[in-house]
Amino acid sequence: MERSHELSAEDIALVRAASGSKEHSPQRVKGNADSSRKRVTRSGKTSGKVNGTKGKVAAQSASKEVQEERLTQVIAVLLGLCSVLLFLALISYSRLDQANTDVGVGQLTGLLTNDPDIAARADTTENWLGLIGAFLANFFLNGTIGWFALIFPGIFGLWSYSVFSKKDLALTMNRSLFALLLGLLSASLVGTIREIYWLPQIAYECTGAVGAFIASILTGLIGTIGGVLLLVAAITVTLLYAFNADLRQVISKIRYASNVVWTRVAGTARRIREATDGDSQRAEKSEGRTQAKTVSSKESSGIEIGDEEPARMIRRFKETEQALPPSIQRQHSEKVASREKETAPPIRRENPIIQTPVHEIDRTELSNKNEVGRSTPPSPLDQGLQVAEDSIQDRDESRILRSEQESVTLTRSPAEEPAEVIMPKLTVHVEEGETDADLEMSEVGKLIERLKDEQIKYDPPQIELLAPQEVHEEVEDNELKTHARLLQEKLRTFNIEIENLTVTPGPVVTLFEFVPAAGIKLSQIESLGDDIALALKARGIRIIAPIPGKGTVGVEIPNTHPATVRIRSVLNTTKFREADLRLPLALGKTTVGEVFCADLTKMPHLLIAGATGAGKSVGINSILASLLYKMHPSELKLAIIDPKKIELTQYRALANHYLVCCPDIDEDIVTDPQNAVLLLKSLELEMDRRYDMLAKSGQRNIFDYNKKIDEGALKPTPEAPHVKLPFIVLIIDELADLMITASKEVEEPIARLAQLARAIGIHMIVATQRPSVDVLTGMIKANFPARIAYQVATKVDSRTILDVNGAEQLLGNGDMLYLPGGRPKPLRLQNAFITTEEVEAICEHIGSQKGYSNPYTLPSLAEKKKTSSGGTSDERDDLFDEAAHLVVRHQQGSVSLLQRRLKVGYARAARIVDELEDAGIVGPFDGSKAREVLLESEAELEAFL
């Protein structure tokens, strides 16, 4: 809530008078030398007597202070001793001592006179403090408030500490009274519960005589249940007053703690269930493999493991393969198939590579057999969907096989006869060559399968998962008036008069607005930042001259006791919930305490920079939390790159809801720089594909396109598979690390996405802790008009991020400057704070729900390269095949290897390596290292080519 203070003319006059009085020096009394000497002589006569009297008074006062100090310490020690002794007496209470304590206080003097009766009682006492300790314990436990009498040693200890430390005794008295009242009410509550007959009997020592007496009165007046409710309400009110707490905040904290516990329990149960299911699936697959190996080991089967190097699955690009080449497909007779069905169990292999001799097949017979299966041809759309489903299944199987790192090459023995062969069941395919129309239809089927709208039951995270905002006292008026007076004095020192001074306190800083007098240049005020900071003894002072949209000058001065802005205090507001923003970002609160939200689609990309520990990671988490609270999984997809490997790992739980899937990499949260390059290039392909869809539909941006989809104006067809497109937000937590490892490969796709991706719903949030020109290049900065700067070390870093000074004066801990596109000067904000536990609670809540069966899949860069390389095979170098075998055989993708073995120059060898990369045989450029070879055997290369 905004709270402004307008200083009246009277206050300003008082300030001026106070400052003016300091400028006049006291007048000196002039006199001649004779009168001066007379005064000195006259004063010298009496100075001895006065000094002697003052010395005696000072000595007496000092002695009195020492005595009072010693008395205070003695009282504190005695109170502490009483606290310890009473505590020991109470905790060593025994019911067996009640008979021994049935004596009067006067009879206890018999311990000094050796009274035989008292001495016998003392010998049989079990209390640690003897008979006196038993007497005290019996009195406090049975005669007062039962075991709640343990508050008495606490009260004695509190008084001992307060007296020794010279604390405020009035505050100690209030705390003691509250403790006594709580003990009395608690003993009465236990005594009332003790009156309930159907409950187990409660010992009398739990209530004492006072608690039992009050309980009997309440039970007689309003009954047992009424007494319990009344006492519970009284205890609650007493606790609220004692701790100055808010009941709503207490209830909110309890709900938050219960939700966090429940979410973690549900997440743990889900992980245990998934681990159990995974173990059972691996056991089934292991059993199937063992059974398959047993069958293949039989000599009667005619199948044996080859002596050649086993062909392994392609690690990255096998997903694009849908069928084996025609040369290794074979049609078996019905006799062999029936015998195989009767005698051998099925052998399950994920895409086995079967080496058989090439046979001539009678196409007339095959066409007759296939006419039966083609009596009812499917529609092109259904065919595309089916191909896509088969591709997804093949991809999953290839991933399983790749993780197990095993494959089997099956060969047929030439000595065996076909009638005696028992082989796995093979599917009959007749392929007469794949046309361009078939390829296009296959791609359409994949696209429709990936984008078809799957409805899920989704429960968004509740606000109770977030910690409530702490109650923070507002800035005191005395502090505001003091700062205002010092500001006016300092400006007047430099002959700058101000008018209409207005003070607006915020959570972290306070804004002082004023109108400078006529003839004052703004440059004079801007240059006084360090002088004002010196006068106020504060750091982080920022001068805004002038404030945009106002005819005033602003000075932001930090508060003495800043408040923490919790993310809940921002998300749980009407301004955020009802904000008409497509991609709402809750950035925090302004200097006047107002919630500030921005739309990422209007930025359209965000650049974040700041020193280590300034709050960048917390800012990214708060941005992601605001998106998760407002957006449905069908409306938003996230692509996260985290080179640090620890900052954003919690978001792996969102894989089935919000995260995109890149088929070329096997990470949900990308941490490897090379995988980051693949993800960026895959997003480029997604951008091009979306632009093609917009061009076919005749729409200019994703908003109009999705609106036509919702209205039913665009229907999915085989030629144009129109479906509703979600927003994609790319988050890069540390750009500097990517620029160091692969600067050119990273800078180009980032710049291209920043230039073109806005219209089709792809937006970027890029953060770095190294705001230097070699990281934030001119090409990147030119396409990121919206920027956030946290605290930096120097003015150069501030100008690199914002093109203006100011970020070096920030306070840290989430204090930031936000520069939106089109605004001349940055806006100061306090970033919303979110803890790691809150992020984990949100991710666990979402991850525990059932997500989409298939994630949102980006286009495959490997498939694109393979398709493009297949169309340009005639343009390859003549030594391409020989170079491919050479690279795979030596598992070294280097230019120097091709130069030596093929005896060619550097330029031709480098061109061949580029062709191998385009074909998907070697990986991308990796600095001084040799390129990674993606195929592991020449047999695999033959199948790939």
Write the pLDDT tens digit of every residue in 393-452. 444 444 443 444 433 333 343 334 333 334 343 333 433 334 443 444 445 445 455 545
Helix (H, G, I), strand (E, B) or coil at 307: coil
Helices (H), ranges, 195-333: 208-243, 247-296
- Grade residue 104 by pLDDT with cuts at 50, 70 and 90: low
Q: How many domains does the chain have?
A: 5
Which pLDDT score, from 0 to 100, does residue 7 have?
Answer: 53
Res 680: pLDDT: 93
Residue 558's DSSP bridge partners are 509
Q: If pLDDT is split at 50, 70 and 90, which confidence band does 664 have?
A: confident
The pLDDT, as a whole number, for residue 572 is: 92
Return the CATH number at 548: 3.30.980.40
Interval 578-591: pLDDT, tens: 888 999 999 999 98
Q: Is residue 163 part of a domain?
A: yes
Helix-then-strand count for the chain, H and E: 29, 19
Tokens matching residue 553 = 């000058």
Rounded CA separation 723/447 (Å): 10
pLDDT level of residue 325 (50, 70, 90 thresholds):
very low
**Residue 283, pLDDT score:** 60
Instruction: Kindly calculate the radius of gyration of the chain based on its CA atoms and give it in whole angstroms.
Output: 42
Flag whether pLDDT at 938 surpasses 70: yes
Q: What local confidence, expressed as pLDDT, does residue 537 receive?
A: 84
Same domain, yes or no: 200 and 314: no
In a domain, 896, yes or no: yes
Which tokens is 112 given? 């000094």
Lowest-pLDDT range, 158-172, 423-437, 525-539, 832-846? 423-437
Which stretch of 174-188, 265-279, 753-767, 808-822 has the lowest confidence by average pLDDT?
A: 265-279
- Nearest residue to 565 via CA among 830, 818, 257, 829: 830
Per-residue pLDDT, averaged over 227-244, amounts to 90
The per-residue pLDDT for 595 is 94
Q: For position 792, which CATH number holds?
A: 3.40.50.300
User: Mean pLDDT, the chain, as a whole number?
Assistant: 77
- The span from the CA of 395 to the CA of 313, in Å, is 11
Identify the weakest region by mean pLDDT among 95-99, 501-505, 732-736, 830-834.
95-99
Do 447 and 523 sit in the same domain of this protein? no
pLDDT band at 334 (very low <50, low <70, confident <90, very high): very low
pLDDT at 391 over 60: no
Q: Which uninterrupted H or E stretch holds 779?
A: helix 778-782
* 673 contacts 745 by C-beta, under 8 angstroms: no
Q: Which residues contact 623 (CB under 8 A, 6 or more apart)?
A: 585, 586, 587, 765
pLDDT of residue 630: 93
Better pLDDT: 556 or 394: 556
Q: Which of 798, 830, 857 is the last residue of a domain?
A: 857
**Domain range spanning residue 884?**
872-944
Asked if 371 contacts 428 with a C-beta cutoff of 8 angstroms, the reply is no
Q: Is residue 218 part of a domain?
A: yes
Q: For residue 166, give both structure tokens.
A: 């010279």
Q: What percent of the chain has pLDDT over 90?
A: 33
DSSP 530-552: HHHHHHHT-S--EEESSPTTSSS
- The Cα 363–Cα 841 span in angstroms is 62
124 or 410: which leads in pLDDT: 124
| CA 630 to chain centroid | 16
Q: Which pLDDT score, from 0 to 100, does residue 169 have?
A: 86
Q: Hey, which residues does 827 pair with through a beta bridge?
A: 818
Which of 46-50, 121-125, 274-278 has the highest average model confidence (pLDDT)? 121-125
Worst-scoring range by mean pLDDT, 58-67, 355-364, 594-603? 355-364
Q: 374 pLDDT exceeds 50?
A: no
Yes or no: say if 610 and 792 are a contact pair by the CB < 8 Å rule: yes
Is the same domain home to 850 and 898? no
Enumerate residues 6+ apart whose C-beta is below 8 A from 938: 309, 885, 888, 889
Residue pair 398/351 in contact by the 8 Å Cβ criterion: yes
Residue after which a domain boundary falls, among 414, 433, 451 = 451
Q: By C-alpha distance, which of 431, 272, 392 is closest to 857?
A: 392
Cβ neighbours around 855 below 10 Å, total: 18
pLDDT at 819: 94
Q: Which of 101-115, 414-428, 489-503 has the lowest mean pLDDT?
A: 414-428
Whether 391 and 497 share a structural domain: no
pTM equals: 0.58
One domain, residues 810 and 686: yes
Same domain, 607 and 743: yes
Could you tell me if residue 923 is inside a domain?
yes
∠ CA 476-816-513, rounded to 5° = 45
Question: CA-CA distance, 128 to 124, in Å (whole number)?
Answer: 12
pLDDT at 352 over 50: no
Tell me how far apart the terminal alpha carbons of the chain are, to the nearest angstrom: 69
51 inside domain? no
Q: For residues 646-665, give the mean pLDDT.
A: 91
Report yes or no on 591 lying in a domain: no
Residues 212 and 79 in one domain: yes
Whether 48 shows a pLDDT value over 60: the answer reads no
Q: What are 765-774's pLDDT values in tens digits?
A: 999 988 888 8
Q: Is the pLDDT of residue 531 over 90?
A: no
Higher pLDDT, 301 or 742: 742
d(CA 605, CA 628): 18
Task: Give a yes or no: residue 75 inside a domain.
Answer: yes
Parallel/antiparallel/unpaired status of strands 815-819 and 827-831: antiparallel
Residue 288 lies in a domain: no
| pLDDT (0 to 100) of residue 461 | 93
Residue 40 has pLDDT above 60, yes or no: no
- Statement to judge: residues 649 and 774 lie in one domain: yes
Quote the crossing angle between the two packed helices 906-919 and 880-890, to the nearest 10°: 80
DSSP 517: P
Q: Using an 8 Å Cβ cutoff, are 831 and 613 in contact?
A: no
Instruction: Please tell me whether residues 679 and 810 are part of one structural domain.
Output: yes
Tokens, residue 785: 């008009």
277-285 own/partner pairs: CB under 8 Å, 24+ apart: 285/400
What is the per-residue pLDDT for 186? 95
1-10, 73-82, 259-268, 903-912: range with highest mean pLDDT: 73-82
Q: What integer pLDDT is reported at residue 66 of this predicted model?
A: 83
Lowest mean pLDDT among 28-37, 309-318, 840-849: 309-318
> Which of the residue ranges 251-265, 268-282, 613-627 would you say has the lowest mean pLDDT?
268-282
Which of 315, 291, 293 lies closest to 304, judged by CA? 293
3-state secondary structure of 317: coil
Q: Any idea what the Cα angle at residue 943 is, between residues 937 and 945, rounded to 5°?
A: 100
pLDDT at 792: 92
The helix (run of H) or strand (run of E) holding residue 511 is strand 509-516
pLDDT at 231: 94
Between 939 and 838, the more confident residue is 838
User: Would you say how long the chain is, in residues?
Assistant: 945
Q: Given the DSSP bridges, would you call strands 498-505 and 509-516 parallel, antiparallel or unpaired?
A: antiparallel
Q: Looking at per-residue confidence, does 227 or 928 come out higher?
A: 227
- Among 359-363, 462-466, 757-761, whose mean pLDDT is lowest? 359-363
More confident residue, 327 or 667: 667
The residue-averaged pLDDT of 473-483 equals 83
- Please tell me whether residues 242 and 317 are part of one structural domain: no
Same domain flag for 773 and 919: no
Residue 232, pLDDT score? 94
What's the whole-number mean pLDDT along residues 172-182? Answer: 92
DSSP string across 340-384:
HHHHS-----SS-EEE-------HHHHHHHHHHHTSSPPPHHHHH
Rounded to whole angstroms, how far apart are CA atoms 199 and 765?
Answer: 62
3-state secondary structure of 185: helix
pLDDT for 299: 41
Residues 437 and 489 in one domain: no
More confident residue, 641 or 429: 641
pLDDT tens digits for range 727-754: 999 999 989 888 888 777 888 899 999 9
What CATH number corresponds to the domain at position 884?
A: 1.10.10.10
pLDDT, residue 389, reads: 46
Residue 263 near residue 841, CB atoms below 8 Å = yes
Q: What percent of the chain has pLDDT over 70?
A: 72
pLDDT value for 340: 40
Sequence-ordered list of residues with C-beta below 8 angstroms from that of 187, at least 6 positions apart, any chain: 145, 146, 148, 206, 207, 208, 210, 211, 214
How far is it, in rounded angstroms, from Cα 782 to Cα 769? 19
